[in-house]
Structures are given as C-alpha cells and as structure tokens.
Copies of this chain bind each other. A is one copy, B any other.
Amino acid sequence: MSAIDPSPHPLQIATRAPEPVAPAPPPGWQIALRWIVPIGIGALIRVFPVPDGVEPAGWSLLAVFVATIAAIIAKPAPMGVVSVIGLTFAATAGILTIDEALSGFGNSAIWLIVLAFFIARGFIKTGLGARIAFLFVKLLGKRTVGLAYGLAATDLVLSPAMPSTTARAGGVIFPILRSLASAFESEPNDPSATRMGSYLTNCAMQVNAVTGGMFATAMAANPIIVDLATEGEVQLSWGTWALAAIVPGLVALAVLPLVILKLDPPEVRESPGATEYAKSELASMGTLRRDEKLMLGVFGLLLGLWMLGDPLFGMGATVAAMIGLSVLLVTDVLTWEDIKAEKGAWDTLVWFAVLVTMAKFLSELGVIGWFSDVMSGAVDGFGWPLALAVLIGVYVYGHYFFASMTAQVTAMYAAFMGAAVVAGAPAFLAAIGLAVASNLMGGLTHYASGPAPVLFGAGYMSVGKWWTVGLVSSIVTLGIFGTVGVGWTKLLGLW
C-alpha cells in the first residue's frame, strides 16, 4: 500500500451517482432503553396483585404479553427477535410448558397465512400478478384512488363466499396489490413504499375489515357469532345480517379510500398515460404462458375450494391452500427453493405463532374473562345507548391485546352481549353491533387478524403508520355503523 493516499479528483466525486445511504443505527444506550422500557412495563404489571378468577400464570403471561407488544412497538430488534425472546422467557419462567409455548406452530390459521405467502409468490414469479395489475390499470384509469376502489370491489364481491379473510386479502388481493405497486415502482422496505404500496395496503386492510362485517359468511368467526347470538335469543340469519349491514357497509367502503388518502397520501396520485402504458405492456406480454395458465388454474381452483370446499366436502381453507400449493409444486410453477427462500413466510410463522399462542393462553388462564367481568361491572347504571357504545368501544379497543379475531369472539362476544342486554340495550342491536364490531377491529394492529400480518409483512409501512391508520379508520367505520347503521336498522324495524 502506498504511503500517500491521494484524494480523488473533486470532479470525479461530483459525477458519481449518489449511493443509497443506510440509516445510521441508533446509539447503544437508545437500543438498551428500547429493551428496558418494555421490560419495565411488564414488571410493573407483574407486581400488581393477581385479580380473583385469574390464574397466577395468566397474570404473569399478561405481563410477558404486554412487554412483548411494547417491545414490538419500541423496536429494539426485529419483531421475530422480540417474539422469540418473549416466548423463551415464558417457557423459561415456567409460565407456559414447552408444548404449550410451541402449540401455535401447529395452528391451521397460521399455516393458512404461511401458505398465502407461497401462493402470492406464484402470482409474482409467473408474471400473472403483473398482468392482472395492468388489466386493472387499463380499466380503472389514471388515479391511485381508482385502483383502491377496484381492489375494494374485488374484495366485496368475493366476501360472501370466501369466509377466510386471510385467503381473501392475503391470497387474492395482496398479490395484485403487490404487483400494482411494483408496476408503479413502489417497493417494500424502500423509500418508494410511500409512492403507492403503503396507501393501497392500508386501503386493502381497512376495506377487508368492513367486508368481513357485511355477511355471516365473510369471516371465519362470523358463524360462531351467529351461534352465540342464538344462545342469547337473537336469530341472526344470513339474510338479516346482510340486510342490516349492506347500507352502512357500502357507505364505509365509499368513504375509507378517501379518508386514507388524507392519512397516508400516496405520492403517485394521477398517472397520465397509465392506461396507454398498461395497454402497451399487455400487448408486449402477449398471450398467457404455461406457468401463468397453471397459476390462473390454481387461482380458480382455490376460489372454488374456498367457496364450495366447506359446504360440499367439509374442506377447510388451509387444506384447500395446501392443495393449491401442491399443484404449483408438482407442475414446477414454484420450486422447493422458492419455498425455502420465502423469508417473509418464515418470519411471519415465528412471530405470529408466538402472539397467537400467548393470546390463546391469556384466554385459557382467565385473563380475558376477568377483563370482560370488569367491563360489564363498569357500565352498571349507564343508560343503554351509552352502555352499548362503551361496551362496543372496549370490545373493539380490547383487540389491541388479541392476535386473532376468532380468539376474541370465542372469549368475549357472549360476555359483552350479555352485559349490553343487562344494561337495557335492544338484544338485536347488541348482537349485530358486536358482530360487525368483531370485524371492524381486524385492521387495528398488524397482528389483529389473519390478513394483517400478510399485508404488514409485505413491508410497505412502519408499525406506527399501520396503528395510526388502523385507529382512525376504526373510529370512522364505528362512527358510520353507529349512525347510518343504527338508523337503517331502526328504519327496517329490526329493533
């Protein structure tokens, strides 16, 4: 090496293309603080006396769960690392046995999500996703908000017949959204995410939460809700639910893409020439290739099995997805190498399984029951409209502590409906209100429902942005259903 290290000529530097600058890692003390604060919150919960009816292990698990969620928000390390540490702590401290701690990894809802990642890869790899995206662009013209309405219409049309919100938003909408964003050079985990991907993802999630609440068959836990309402002596038939929800639902679907336009404005709003561009791209793609045809066939098969598999053969959504993946693998549309390398799927498997496991045992160990009891006591003496509003609010925002709609519905729907009726609310209104609310909460957090981790895991936005849009959207949709919905059902004479 030369002793003299001459500086490069100034001009040489100036003409270089600027290199992307990685954000400087935060200083060590800040990382330490991001660990210490969540642990402190957990420790604080732990030292509170255990309420009656809650098992001590349940209270300890609540402390670990809240600390884990706090660390996911503070982000001293990626979500996977935080989840592994949270679960390790719960298993080491004996709060959960190792079999309990790992039980989430055998959960079929989680594997449906993992499978949705693999199937989405097929849409991208074959180019079919891009082709569908260009068809959308050609049809819906030049505005990003138009694309959001196009995806919303797709979700709505599919929703009565596709009870898995994960299959709908994760398996169908997400790959199209992903390809659309890519076509407009908006990539995840990249500054370009805000060009379009982030906006469309937010719309897809919040729209999905609304469509889930519009039909008794539009979300996996909705049939459980119908059962529970029947036990509370309210007949919530398919037709009644749809009739009650259609008007406020359509209003919400019309309003949401506009609200999110303010909350998370996409940089690409209008794209003059997009229609022509799409046409020329479609022309250059030519006719469908072998792998695209197979992917399209599997897509059709999946839609068919998701709609008819359960009524005809008692086949669940996860088995249908396994069949779809098997076909893609046998025909070499996807290779095993693609599966092993699908990092997003393995990432999601780990952190979502951990959160679902914790939520399940919070319920089993009495924490959720205790929470519900506290709430029904708290509205004692309110007039019924206020009591119902408070109960629905607590029910929805209690979902910050849940990683599964099904878990919350199973654990809390009956208790909250009972509390509302005791407070004097009309039974039908309480039943349908909590039923719809069980869906509206699906976009609150990035772990709130099955599609949430798929859409979040794509990497278009931070946890903070997701939570902000989720919170505001929930206030908007609750407001619409609370006014338009209440008025509409009163007009129909349903209560």
Interface residues, chain A, CB within 8 Å of chain B?
A: 35, 77-78, 80-81, 84-85, 87-88, 91-92, 94, 98-99, 102-108, 111, 314-316, 318-319, 322-323, 325-326, 329-330, 336, 339-341, 343, 346-347, 350
Residues of B within 8 Å of A316, CB to CB, are 98
A334 vs chain B, min Cβ distance (A): 9
Residues of B within 8 Å of A94, CB to CB, are 314
Chain B residue, CB-CB nearest to A315: B92
Query: Whole-angstrom distance between the alpha carbons of A316 and B319 in the complex?
Result: 33
- Decide: B336 and A346 in contact? CB cutoff 8 A: no
Contact of A105 among B111, B326, B347 (CB under 8 A): B111
- Decide: A99 and B105 in contact? CB cutoff 8 A: no
Instruction: Classify the secondary structure of A's interface with B.
Output: helix
With A84-B326, A85-B326 known, 20 other A-B pairs at CB within 8 A are: A77-B330, A78-B336, A80-B339, A81-B329, A84-B322, A84-B329, A85-B329, A88-B319, A88-B322, A88-B323, A92-B319, A92-B322, A94-B314, A98-B108, A102-B107, A102-B318, A105-B105, A336-B347, A339-B350, A341-B343
- Decide: B102 and A111 in contact? CB cutoff 8 A: yes
A92 vs chain B, min Cβ distance (A): 6
A294 vs chain B, min Cβ distance (A): 15
Residues of B within 8 Å of A339, CB to CB, are 80, 346, 350
Query: Whole-angstrom distance between the alpha carbons of A78 and B80 in the complex?
Result: 28
A68 vs chain B, min Cβ distance (A): 13
Residues of B within 8 Å of A315, CB to CB, are 92
- Decide: B340 and A91 in contact? CB cutoff 8 A: no
- Decide: B340 and A347 in contact? CB cutoff 8 A: yes
- Decide: A340 and B329 in contact? CB cutoff 8 A: no
- Decide: A106 and B102 in contact? CB cutoff 8 A: yes
- Decide: A322 and B81 in contact? CB cutoff 8 A: no
Q: Evaluate whether A336 and B77 lie within 8 angstroms (CB atoms) in the complex, with A98-B319, A319-B98 already known.
A: yes
Residues of B within 8 Å of A77, CB to CB, are 329-330, 336
Contact of A326 among B88, B106, B322, B347 (CB under 8 A): B88
Residues of B within 8 Å of A91, CB to CB, are 319, 322
Residues of B within 8 Å of A326, CB to CB, are 84-85, 88
Query: Whole-angstrom distance between the alpha carbons of A341 and B78 in the complex?
Result: 14
A406 vs chain B, min Cβ distance (A): 14
Residues of B within 8 Å of A323, CB to CB, are 88, 92
- Decide: A330 and B106 in contact? CB cutoff 8 A: no
A209 vs chain B, min Cβ distance (A): 25
- Decide: A340 and B346 in contact? CB cutoff 8 A: yes
- Decide: B88 and A336 in contact? CB cutoff 8 A: no
A252 vs chain B, min Cβ distance (A): 33
Query: Whole-angstrom distance between the alpha carbons of A341 and B98 in the complex?
Result: 25
A198 vs chain B, min Cβ distance (A): 22
- Decide: A99 and B88 in contact? CB cutoff 8 A: no
Residues of B within 8 Å of A88, CB to CB, are 319, 322-323, 325-326
